[in-house]
Amino acid sequence: DQQVKQNSPSLSVQEGRISILNCDYTNSMFDYFLWYKKYPAEGPTFLISISSIKDKNEDGRFTVFLNKSAKHLSLHIVPSQPGDSAVYFCAASRSGGYQKVTFGTGTKLQVIP
Amino acid sequence: DAGVTQSPTHLIKTRGQQVTLRCSPKSGHDTVSWYQQALGQGPQFIFQYYEEEERQRGNFPDRFSGHQFPNYSSELNVNALLLGDSALYLCASSILSGTGFPQPQHFGDGTRLSIL
């Protein structure tokens, strides 16, 4: 049962344009969502998060949007840079105490110079 | 400030053998989680340790066990290895947030386990 889904395995974007990565979830108990970036041969690196009490969170070039009614979140990267080329994982968990984080299958972003 | 360190980086075993993977958490972190990442998939949660006890567990058989030591470091043990256990094993550490929203986890670079 894939509770967190990233339906686009890959995405190519021109440098300077916007990258939009999408994620859907099925478990309505999830109330905390994260995006991680992963380069080859490295572990995932935390990028940005959002809690269910918000519908938007920004950090520099990165913005995450949450639509609770649609159980959908997206990550916007503006402007995209070649160094952003990586695999992006969407993840979800519940608040309070010990966290069991559920990851999506990832979207490989390629930013073309 | 050292981040999460894992050892070894690569390991080759044969079916039926046992393996132990090790993890040192980021300084100041008290919680360690282990994940299995198969090729082309996202990390799958195995279990989480806090105060030397297993606190949460994913859908993994009892062949997967772990331990956390008083210095917060952790081990993942896998018995009776199967070909399907070939994967990247990731360790992540964090600070237990209590009743608030979880603190983001910091990941190590993983141990690549190959079963022949």
Runs of H (alpha helix) within B26-107:
none
- pLDDT higher than threshold 80 for residue B17: yes
Name the band, by pLDDT with cuts 50, 70 and 90, for residue B1. Answer: low
Name the band, by pLDDT with cuts 50, 70 and 90, for residue B112. Answer: very high
Q: Block means of pLDDT (10 residues each) for chain A, length 113 residues?
A: 91 98 95 95 94 95 97 98 97 83 96 97
Q: Mind telling me how many Å the CA of A15 is from chain B's nearest CA?
A: 25
Chain center to CA of B42? 14
- pLDDT higher than threshold 80 for residue B97: no
Q: How many CB pairs under 8 A join A and B?
A: 75
Query: Which of A61, A62, A64 lies closest to A51 in space, CA to CA?
Result: A64
**CB of A34 closer than 8 Å to CB of B104:** yes
* Beta strand segments in B1-116, E: 5-7, 10-13, 19-24, 31-37, 44-50, 53-57, 64-68, 74-78, 87-94, 106-107, 111-115
Is some CB atom of chain A closer than 8 A to the CB atom of B90? yes
Instruction: Give the residue on A whose Cα is nearest the Cα of B37.
Output: A105
SS3 call for B57: strand
Q: What is the mean pLDDT of residues B2-14?
A: 95
Residue B72 to residues B24, B26, B28, B32, B99: CA-CA distances in angstroms? 7, 9, 9, 8, 21
- The per-residue pLDDT for B99 is 64
In chain A, which among 34-73 make CB contacts under 8 A with chain B? 34, 36, 41-46, 49, 51
Is some CB atom of chain A closer than 8 A to the CB atom of B31? yes
Segment A33-49, tens digit of pLDDT: 999 999 998 999 999 99
User: Hey, are the CB atoms on A98 and B105 less than 8 Å from each other?
Assistant: no
Give the Cα separation of B112 and B9 in Å (integer): 6
Residue B39's identity, in one-letter code, is L
- The per-residue pLDDT for A100 is 86
User: Hey, are the CB atoms on A4 and B42 less than 8 Å from each other?
Assistant: yes
Segment B58-85, tens digit of pLDDT: 999 999 999 999 999 999 999 999 999 9
**CB of B21 closer than 8 Å to CB of B13:** no
- The per-residue pLDDT for A1 is 67
- The per-residue pLDDT for B107 is 97
> CB-side exposure of A27: number of CA atoms within 13 Å?
19
A96: which chain B residues are within 8 Å (Cβ-Cβ)? 98-100
Query: Tokens at residue B103, please?
Result: 């603190």
Query: Tokens at residue B98, please?
Result: 């209590």
Segment B28-54, tens digit of pLDDT: 999 999 999 999 899 999 999 999 999
User: Hey, are the CB atoms on B102 and A106 less than 8 Å from each other?
Assistant: no
